[in-house]
Amino acid sequence: MGLSSQKYIAVKLLIMYLNSRKSHDIEQMVKEFNGFNLVAHNCLINANVDWGNVSEARRLFDEMPERNEVSWTVLISGLLRNGRVAEAMWYFERNPFPNVFLWTATISGLVQNGLSSEAMRVFVKMLASGVAPNDVTFTSVVRACGELGDSGLGKSVLGLIVKVGFEDNLSVSNSFISFNLKLGNIDLARRIFDRMEERDVVSWTAILDMYVDMGDLREARRIFVEMPERNEISWSVMISRYSQGGYPKEAVSLFHEMVQCGLIPNTSCYSSVISALASLRALQEGKNIHGHVLKIGMDRDIFICSSLVDLYCKCGNTKDGRLLFDSVLEKNVVCWNSMVTGYSLNGQLAEAKELFNQIPNKNNISWNSLITGYIETENFDRAFEVFNEMILSGEQPNKSTFSSVLKACASLVSLERGEYMHAKVVKLGFQNDIFMGTALVDMYAKTGNIESSRMVFNGMLIKNEIAWTAMIQGLAENGFAEESLAFFEEMEQTSTIKPNDLILLSVLFACSHCGLVDKGLFYFNSMEKVYGITPSERHYTSVVDMLSRAGRISEAEKFMTNMPFEPEVNAWAALLSGCKTYGNKKLAEKIATKLSELAETKSGGYVLLSNVYASSGRWLDVLNIRKMMNEKGVKKSGGCSWIEVRNRIHLFFSQDDSHAQSAELSEVLELLNSEMVIL
DNA sequence: TTAGGGTTAG
């Protein structure tokens, strides 16, 4: 077989690979080909690497009777591209063709796997071996310096580059732009860009990304429009950053715009747009994209698959998510995490736990997903257990982990654990993070330690809407109504943050508890006009409560009849309680009749009704309702309480003695009771 | 063989 026909076969295989991406066809073709063909074999290895069948690629390589330098390069760079560094290095040590391509492929592969120090060591070895680096080598080496955040190292490499004469090379200059952006030298990056004689789409995209990273999406959009040349990566930068930055709608419309312009989206664009659709819970459009991805043969891409798993799960369809997950041959940790998160989000904790146990290389996101799942299903005990297991396994908790566990401490009203977590946050140096600050303010407020809550809040360098909400709400709910209002006024005067519906609810709550009725009514009436927030049922109920507490019963009643929706049961309860306090028996009876009617029509109505009677001290009515519920066979979910002793949560249910020490506890209670009688 | 881009947790 001559070289030209070998080339012919290789080209044909490549065309088939690009068109059909069907491994089977290509394998068939290689088999039909009489005898061994080196070029075809190399192509097949390359194709398998691209499809993620790395083990198959390695098998093909190992079985080759003869290999050339392309075979070695394809295999080693393929292994590195798929994160199989140890295997790649094993082959690298044994490679009989140490040319510049292979050195460069290895250096860049190591950098891509986050092993920049190792990459630099290989680079030094390369220089010592006498092989001269080329421009591509330098771009990878500069990237490694950037990843290491080592500006001194970058300067030494620049010296070498100038010595060899690559300083004006386009790729090398581009890599220096990103190097400086990584180190925060924005001005220097911009100066390099401005000084460049020739710029390509990569240079422009780097500058575009700079504005996106700074959070200036408008300026980024301007650069994007003005760029002399745009390719699919420039588009993908825009789409992904809009998606990640909390603008999923814009990301989707940008994707449509791209398609309308006649451009072909790459895998990045697809994974980003699917992620945006997942945020929007847009299942149908996501399914359309999935169909399209299947049609064009991108359905094996791990990024696309992980986003699709996430999409199906976020839309509540864990079954289809799992089906897709199972079809992925070589899963990475992100793919695993997407599925665990999917089960967690949908409350399927047994499935989440089972899958979590099977993850081969867990990272902290895997742990966080499971912890969050337990917290969302209010299984706080298990959440803390998993947290402890995480620490024991040697996995470092991150800010997300603490955000979750602090939420659990708040829900459990467990100050002791909260303080322990706070200490850990400080030890790891996370205390200045805005998420941490907010979670701590909330935890301390919910556990009743308003002093610490205030201290953390005052110490926060930047305060966002969520932080202010936690503080204002915390103060209001802990009975510091006046202070809560003072903080609200301070927020209005000193920040640009606009009040949200939760803050206004707290403000109404505070006004109600301070007896500042007119002030409360003023804020309620300002909601729509000044703040552009439509009041919800809860806001209306709060006003009813406020008027009732102040004895303005007829006003409260009138307010209720003018509400744009059916009043909540809590609103009736507030009014009834007001009637009781101010002795309005006639209206109280009217409300009682109304509530009985409501109980008939609403599911769980009896329970609510009995709660309403209980809250206004009408115990006879409570007993009657309970009797009626028993007759009709209506079950009430039991009351539940808990106490924390030596890091263990003890749960107690009403009319239930399932606690292991319930007999002893009863005895002690009886003893205490008798003591109280004596006193 | 490269520089610019992607998926998951709070």
pLDDT (tens digit, 9 = 90+) per residue, A250-278?
999 999 999 998 889 999 999 999 999 99
The pLDDT of residue A81 is above 60: yes
Any idea which of A69-78, A281-290, A335-344, A598-607 has the lowest mean pLDDT? A598-607
Question: What is the structure's pLDDT at A645?
Answer: 62
Question: Could you say which residues 44-83 of protein chain A have a Cβ atom less than 7 A away from any atom in strand B?
Answer: 73, 77
pLDDT digits (tens, 9 = 90+) for A363-397: 999 999 999 999 999 999 999 999 999 999 999 99
Distance of CA A331 to the CA centre of its chain: 20
CB atoms within 10 A of CB A11: 12
- What's the whole-number mean pLDDT along residues A123-144? 94
What average pLDDT does the structure give for chain A? 86
The reply to whether A199 has its C-beta less than 7 Å from any atom of strand B is no
The pLDDT of residue A464 is above 90: no
The reply to whether A334 has its C-beta less than 7 Å from any atom of strand B is yes
Q: Provide, in whole angstroms, the distance separating residue A131's CA from nucleotide B9's C1'.
A: 45
By C-alpha to C1' distance, B2 is nearest to A136
- The Cα–Cα gap between A559 and A555 comes to 6
Confidence of residue A679 (pLDDT cuts 50, 70, 90): very low
Q: How many domains would you assign to chain A?
A: 1
The pLDDT of residue A158 is above 90: yes
Q: Is A423 domain-assigned? A: no
Question: What is the structure's pLDDT at A608?
Answer: 62
Q: Provide, in whole angstroms, the distance separating residue A506's CA from nucleotide B9's C1'.
A: 30
By C-alpha to C1' distance, B7 is nearest to A303
Query: Which of the two residues, A657 and A179, has the higher pLDDT score?
Result: A179
Question: What contacts 24+ positions apart, CB below 8 Å, involve A580-583?
Answer: A580/A616, A580/A617, A580/A618, A581/A548, A581/A549, A581/A551, A582/A551, A582/A553
The reply to whether A464 has its C-beta less than 7 Å from any atom of strand B is no
- What's the whole-number mean pLDDT along residues A572-600? 81
Question: What is the structure's pLDDT at A1?
Answer: 41
Confidence of residue A249 (pLDDT cuts 50, 70, 90): very high
Q: Provide, in whole angstroms, the distance separating residue A297's CA from nucleotide B3's C1'.
A: 28
* A334: nt with nearest C1' to CA: B8
Q: A192-196, A577-581, A591-595: which has the highest mean pLDDT?
A: A192-196
Q: Provide, in whole angstroms, the distance separating residue A620's CA from nucleotide B10's C1'.
A: 47
Q: Provide, in whole angstroms, the distance separating residue A254's CA from nucleotide B9's C1'.
A: 26
Q: Provide, in whole angstroms, the distance separating residue A564's CA from nucleotide B5's C1'.
A: 49
Q: Is A509 domain-assigned? A: no
Question: Could you say which residues 265-284 of protein chain A have a Cβ atom less than 7 A away from any atom in strand B?
Answer: 266-268, 270-272, 275, 278
Question: What is the structure's pLDDT at A36?
Answer: 61
Confidence of residue A2 (pLDDT cuts 50, 70, 90): very low
The pLDDT of residue A231 is above 90: no
By C-alpha to C1' distance, B10 is nearest to A400
The pLDDT of residue A625 is above 60: yes
**Can you give the residue range of the structural domain that contains A670?**
639-679
Instruction: Tell me which residue of A180, A177, A172 sits closest to A205, measured CA to CA.
Output: A177
Any idea which of A289-303, A350-364, A581-595 has the lowest mean pLDDT? A581-595
Query: Which of the two residues, A247 and A285, has the higher pLDDT score?
Result: A285
Confidence of residue A444 (pLDDT cuts 50, 70, 90): very high
Question: What is the structure's pLDDT at A655?
Answer: 57
The pLDDT of residue A506 is above 80: yes
- What's the whole-number mean pLDDT along residues A222-242? 88
Angle between helices A186-195 and A170-182 (to 10 degrees): 160
Query: Hunting for tokens 């860009």 — which residue is that?
Result: A193
Q: Is A68 domain-assigned? A: no
Q: Is A214 domain-assigned? A: no
* A203: nt with nearest C1' to CA: B4
Q: Provide, in whole angstroms, the distance separating residue A598's CA from nucleotide B5's C1'.
A: 57
The reply to whether A335 has its C-beta less than 7 Å from any atom of strand B is yes
* A404: nt with nearest C1' to CA: B10
- What's the whole-number mean pLDDT along residues A323-333? 91
- The Cα–Cα gap between A522 and A517 comes to 9
Q: Is A647 domain-assigned? A: yes
Question: What is the structure's pLDDT at A576?
Answer: 86
Q: Provide, in whole angstroms, the distance separating residue A369's CA from nucleotide B8's C1'.
A: 9
The pLDDT of residue A415 is above 80: yes
Q: Is A671 domain-assigned? A: yes
Largest interatomic CA distance in chain A: 110
- What's the whole-number mean pLDDT along residues A289-313? 93
Q: Is A630 domain-assigned? A: no
The pLDDT of residue A355 is above 50: yes
- The Cα–Cα gap between A60 and A99 comes to 23
Percentage above 70 pLDDT, chain A: 86
Q: Is A643 domain-assigned? A: yes
- Listed as ranges, the nucleotides of chain B within 7 A of a protein C-beta are 1-10
The pLDDT of residue A7 is above 70: no
